Amino acid sequence: LRLWVNDHWRAAVKAGVFGVHLGQEDLVQCLEDGGLQQMQQRGMAFGISTHSFGELAVALGLKPSYISLGPVFATTSKKVGFDPQGTGMVQKWRQLIPQHIPLVTIGGISDPHSVAAVHAAGADCVAVICA
């Protein structure tokens, strides 16, 4: 079983979990506090949320275990400050991200049709939440 912790990287490092997913706000704090080095020293995996080309460029420079893009579709699960990206952006992200880095999509993926659409656009994985 591989446990991933969302955002709470300090607790994840302390607990020695498999990996950490970092949103943009938590990524900045993690970098400033040396958290990325702590995770790398422990062999932990980490993924990064992206919503813009600038965020993608930063993520690629950090060499994460995966990169996520979202929201792909409109979502009511949580308030996000970004418009839906659409499957065209999924295709663009897949072109820009090296093939050995998985692309995870999130946001409004709520049925088999939306899963198929993001997969056809180049997503390797989907993340689904329901709130």
Per residue in 15-29, pLDDT (tens digit) is 999 999 999 889 999
Asked if residue 131 has pLDDT above 60, the reply is no
One-letter amino acid for residue 123 of the chain: A
pTM of the model: 0.92
Per residue in 43-63, pLDDT (tens digit) is 999 999 999 999 999 999 999
Q: What pLDDT is stored for residue 79 in this prediction?
A: 77
Q: What pLDDT is stored for residue 125 in this prediction?
A: 95
